[in-house]
Amino acid sequence: MPTGLPGVRANFFGAGAQTARLMLYGLLAIVLMAIDQRGHYIPRLRALVANAAEPLYHLVDWPIRAAESVAGQFRSRERLEATNAQLRAALLAQEADLQRLETLAEENRRLRALLEGAQSLVFKTRFAELVRVDLDPFSHQVMINKGSSDGVEVGQAVIDAEGVMGQVEHVTLHMSRVRLISDPNHALPVQINRTGLRAIALGTGETGALVLNSVPLEADVREGDLVVTSGLGDRFPGGYPVAAVTTVLREEGQTFAQVIARPLASLDRGREVLLIVPQFTDEAFIGPPDMQPEPEPEPEAEEEGGL
């Protein structure tokens, strides 16, 4: 290698060769982006590389987590007691709700047996925490601290206490990446809870707004309507709250109404999330995750009851 001043090569080798290289790399980058945007090949490539990035996320996450736990040590006793009381009240209220739910689930099971709905899903949930890293600020994605070693799979739904957050897009050994419902590339089959009207909720790139597409102009949609998952598409289980309708715009001459909804989940400030693990069973059971399906009663008796 000829010795000389640094940069001599870049200066005297001629701008032409450099420009050719710019074109080459630029073209390569654009081709890669086009392939990635269409969703071909690149996920497999990411799977190869992503495990190498995991330690880097740990490196960023760990000091923050440590600082938070130290800060937690110094939290005052009164404040802890106050939160404790608050949580106890919330628990009591929810247990009361659960009692009612239990009878509803029982009723639902019997009705389903009547309809001979053979297969249904039992959903288990698994707790996960967000990893404190910021990914690309222009795409809405978060990392969670459960990965393939914990049984997480691509496509699993992620919710928080208020509603649906997104779905697992990529899994590495101890972490997974979740695409949030607000991402412009995300679409979620939903229905209006009040009327059962089906639509697709599209992300807009803003955490505060989803767009419901192909809602007919004359459809019965009002501000404040609850939007829940419809369960179509086999990705998300049905019936989980997603968003509340904020604006409905009906313009003459348009085919569809413009419906905008605000996501219920705290997409930009949540800490803890739940992963929903679907399990196919032959039991016709819909209910809270911790309730075990009871042995199926005699079908004859059920049919008599129905008749």
Enumerate binding residues for another protein (CB under 8 A).
Answer: 6-7, 9-11, 15, 18-19, 21-22, 25-26, 28-33, 35-37, 42, 45-46, 49-50, 53, 56-57, 59-60, 64, 132-139, 141, 170, 177, 184-185, 204-206, 268
Q: Which is nearer to another protein, 136 or 252 (CB)?
A: 136
CA torsion 32-36-41-45 (nearest 10°) is 80
Contact yes or no for 176/144 (Cβ under 8 A): yes
Q: How far is the CB of 138 from another protein (least distance, A)?
A: 6
Report DSSP state, residue 53.
H
Q: What is the spatial distance between Cα 174 and Cα 159, in angstroms, rounded to a whole number?
A: 19
Contact yes or no for 244/259 (Cβ under 8 A): no
Q: Hey, is 226 helix, strand or coil? A: strand
Q: How far is the CB of 265 from another protein (least distance, A)?
A: 17
Q: Which of 181, 233, 186 is nearest to 207 (CA)?
A: 181
Q: How far is the CB of 212 from another protein (least distance, A)?
A: 17
Q: Which is nearer to another protein, 39 or 253 (CB)?
A: 39
Q: Which is nearer to another protein, 7 or 72 (CB)?
A: 7
Based on the number of CB atoms within 10 Å of its own CB, is 213 exposed (0-12), middle (13-18) or buried (19 or more)? Answer: middle
Q: How far is the CB of 42 from another protein (least distance, A)?
A: 5
Q: Which is nearer to another protein, 25 or 127 (CB)?
A: 25
For 120, residues 6+ apart whose C-beta sits below 8 A from its C-beta are 112, 281, 283, 284, 285, 286
Q: How far is the CB of 200 from another protein (least distance, A)?
A: 15
Q: Which is nearer to another protein, 7 or 295 (CB)?
A: 7
Q: Which is nearer to another protein, 18 or 83 (CB)?
A: 18
Q: How far is the CB of 40 from another protein (least distance, A)?
A: 11
